[in-house]
């Protein structure tokens, strides 16, 4: 027979995690309804991220500049995420790590200059 008592701490951890997750999700919603903070209106329910209504004719044209700016943000955010570990480990990586990061930064600067020249960063 298999001794399942070793899995009890994992089960307790999962139950606590599930309880806390549910509390963090449903407790603020319940408090908002009880205190009157839950008051939806047309302005609150309007689209604010992509700039066009979500439920329209799917064949309608829309501006892709929002998505282009979002992709550029992700690229440059990843650049910053790569710079921190590189800066911390520069002593161990030496000149090889430095040259590699400079090549990486040069590629990103060339991409930034290209996007700027093409007008991808202009917002009208």
What is the dotted CATH code of the domain comprising 53-124? 1.20.58.1610
CA distances from 43 to 39, 47, 48, 52 (A): 11, 9, 10, 14
Enumerate the domain spans of the chain. 1-39, 53-124
Q: Return per-residue pLDDT of the chain as tens, 124 residues.
A: 778 888 999 999 999 999 999 999 999 999 988 887 777 777 777 766 666 666 666 666 666 777 777 888 888 888 888 888 888 888 898 999 899 989 988 988 898 888 889 887 777 6
Verdict on whether the full-model pTM lies above 0.85: no
């Amino acid at each position: 027979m298999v001794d399942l008592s070793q899995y009890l701490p994992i089960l307790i951890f999962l139950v606590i995690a599930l309880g806390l997750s549910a509390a963090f999700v449903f407790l603020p919603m319940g408090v908002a309804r009880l205190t009157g903070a839950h008051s939806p209106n047309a302005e609150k329910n309007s689209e604010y991220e992509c700039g066009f209504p979500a439920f329209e004719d799917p064949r309608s044209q829309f501006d892709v500049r929002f998505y282009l700016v979002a992709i550029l943000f992700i690229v440059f955010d990843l650049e910053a995420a790569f710079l921190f570990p590189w800066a911390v480990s520069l002593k161990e990586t030496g000149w090889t790590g430095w040259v590699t990061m400079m090549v990486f930064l040069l590629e990103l600067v060339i991409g930034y200059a290209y996007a700027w020249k093409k007008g991808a960063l202009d917002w009208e």
